[in-house]
Amino acid sequence: MDTDADPVAPSDASSATSPPDNGQAPESTTPEPDRAGPAVVNTRRSGAEERASPPGDTLARLVRAVLPWPSRPHSPYEKLVRVHRSIHPKANLPLLHHAHHVAHKMHDGQVRRSGEPYISHPIAVARILAELGMDTTTLVAALLHDTVEDTTCTLEALRKDFGDSVAHLVDGVTKLDGVFFGASAEAETIRKLIIAAGEDVRVIVIKLADRLHNMRTLRFKSRPSQVRKAQATRDVLVPLADRLGIHVFKRELEDLVLATLDPEAYECIDRHVNAQPSRAGYLRTVMGELACELRAARVHATVTDRPRHYWSIYSDMQSSPSRQPHDMPRIVIRVAGDMTDCYAALGAVHGLYRPAPGRFKDFIATPKFNLYQSLHTTVIGPDNEPLEVLVRTEEMHHTAEYGVVAQYRGRDLSEPHEKAASSRTELDWLRRLLDWQRETSDSSEFLASLHSDLSSGQIQIFTSGGDQIMLPTGATPVDLAYAISTPTGDRLIGAYVNGRLATVTAMLDDGDVVEIISASGNDYPGPSREWLSAVRTPQAQRQINQWYDGRDADSGDGESGALTSKIQAGRLAVSMALRRRGRALAGDAPLINLARKLGYPDAEALFVAITETRLRAEEIAEQLIASVDRTAPDSADRA
């Protein structure tokens, strides 16, 4: 459970045999499907009718008597059931009703900060997942996701009642007790979430839905709590939604974060978006012209407007000299055929409007790490106004919206979960996180590695053997070598990038073809300490440090080696934070001055504090930039 709620201990929950009417949960903005019908209706029978009932009917009646059939046709829970049945007509509703009954019973007497009954939260989370198209097991776990953490219910009781899958999902999203884990509770909870997601990615999906509802109701928290929650959402959960390709979550979470952290910018963008009366007419003209051109090219397609969400506009504002919002018109063409029709549609677009040089990207031939596929082009539309056009198939559009969970929409729920689960090869980033947690015993180091990886963009690198490897933006041949294997990284002596010899610390670009040159035999120099200031992946950083830790231990300098590793890790974290801002340090003078200002004797002590998470590298980078920007432009230590 997120700390958005303040549950009160249940008042004799064990005595509750049937739930009262549900508390009202905030309504979702997603319209209910038209074909959603009423759920099963509870009926009462007379004694004579009961005595005349055959044994099978009596059993059904007893089951109905135990299950908490909703008493109000338009209650939040009933709306959840209707949405789920509209997408999954064969859903296991008795199991869902039973989960609702248990959740209502265990949370009886608890309330949220808003004053609503606490049960409104798990129902709202399950409703979000139902609209996403998730299966019944996921909805059951969503209804129960806070019972182990906030009530007397145990994980073993859930496993006995609902099976291993539900118990695993609930356990995966249950936070660890801060009393027992202390300062490492947050890091260990995230590690636990990642491990559980390695077995079943639905753990992260439930966590995202849980956070989305809490962000929707964040106004009931104090201002400091709102900021902390929004920052944590921005740093970890939004990137996780992006990695999973669940853009319906990512867009709303980003906008909610923006509204919380920078309400003035949010209002500015909102005024800009709503003050464009001519935009609708312009888009109708463009879509009409494109539809005619596609018909002439015999491409069956749907042309729709695709407005950008507020965070996307805000991100462009930050890099714009004017710092004013600008929303380029954007159109999506969804073709009814296969990918060859996408290229035919692209030809029709470029035949109608002149393409802007250097603004074409083919994510169909080379999908993104989160399975996203589309053709992106920018053209000069009517009135010489730039127009962004996305071209994709209907299936690609579905995946672009729902990512790895697209498989659950419309799936026959009688199929085993494993048949529908995403291929592990499609989630390289998750496998990488699992490798980190296995090799990293320190929870703070794991959390720092996670933040570093999630905060970076991704590029796709091709090896000389034709393999595709995803690396963070700004990665080097050193990162690639260690991504291939530890021995390959340790033996690295050179690299060819696109057929040309390059330094092993050179930054790679998206689409580069890299050939790693490795030393042969047992006599090789091993990694250089200087690589630590250039590598971008925690995996490469960790392996280089382990190489030197082993040699420090062999020389009897193990404690000194551990301190050296912390200093190197802290320096690397600051360097990476500066590089993400397009800056670098030419000398240590600004670091030393900042360290003394913060009460540390030298820069090394500052680096250790960063490694031990007493300071954040991102904040240090911002302070360094602010300090050197106040000095002369020709300063030798300019960041």
The answer for residues whose C-beta is within 8 angstroms of residue 555's C-beta and 6 or more apart is: none
DSSP state of 23: P
Judge whether 192 and 155 are in contact, CB under 8 Å: no
Distance between start and end Cα atoms, the chain? 41
d(CA 126, CA 130): 6
DSSP state of 584: -
Of 149, 316, 549, 612, the active-site residue reads 149
Phi and psi at 497, nearest 5°, equal: -115, 115
Which residues are 494's β-sheet partners?
Answer: 517
* Residue carrying structure tokens 């690396």: 471
With H, G, I as helix, E, B as strand and everything else as coil, classify residue 29: coil
Where do the DSSP E strands lie in 186-262? none
Task: Report which residue type is found at 576.
Answer: M
Judge whether 533 and 572 are in contact, CB under 8 Å: yes
* Residue carrying structure tokens 């991102």: 618
d(CA 340, CA 346): 10
Which residues are 469's β-sheet partners?
Answer: 461
DSSP state of 378: E
Q: Report how far Cα 162 is from the mean position of its chain's Cα atoms.
A: 27
| Percent of the chain as helix, strand, coil, to the nearest 5 | 55, 10, 35
d(CA 433, CA 440): 10
Task: Report which residue type is found at 512.
Answer: D
Judge whether 254 and 266 are in contact, CB under 8 Å: no
150 is catalytic: yes
Pairing of strands 458-463, 513-518: parallel
Q: Residue 521 — left, alpha, or beta (φ > 0 → left; ψ -120 to 50 → alpha)?
A: left
Q: Other C-beta atoms within 10 Å of 64: how many?
A: 17
Judge whether 68 and 18 are in contact, CB under 8 Å: yes
Judge whether 121 and 201 are in contact, CB under 8 Å: no
With H, G, I as helix, E, B as strand and everything else as coil, classify residue 298: coil
Phi and psi at 388, nearest 5°, equal: -95, 135
Supply 137's token pair: 């097991």
d(CA 95, CA 83): 16
Q: Is the dihedral of CA 573, 575, 581, 587 positive or negative?
A: positive
Q: Which of 443, 409, 462 is nearest to 193 (CA)?
A: 443
Q: Other C-beta atoms within 10 Å of 364: how many?
A: 20
> E strand or H helix at 258, and its extent?
helix 247-261
Of 135, 150, 388, 479, the active-site residue reads 150
Catalytically active residues, by annotation: 149-150
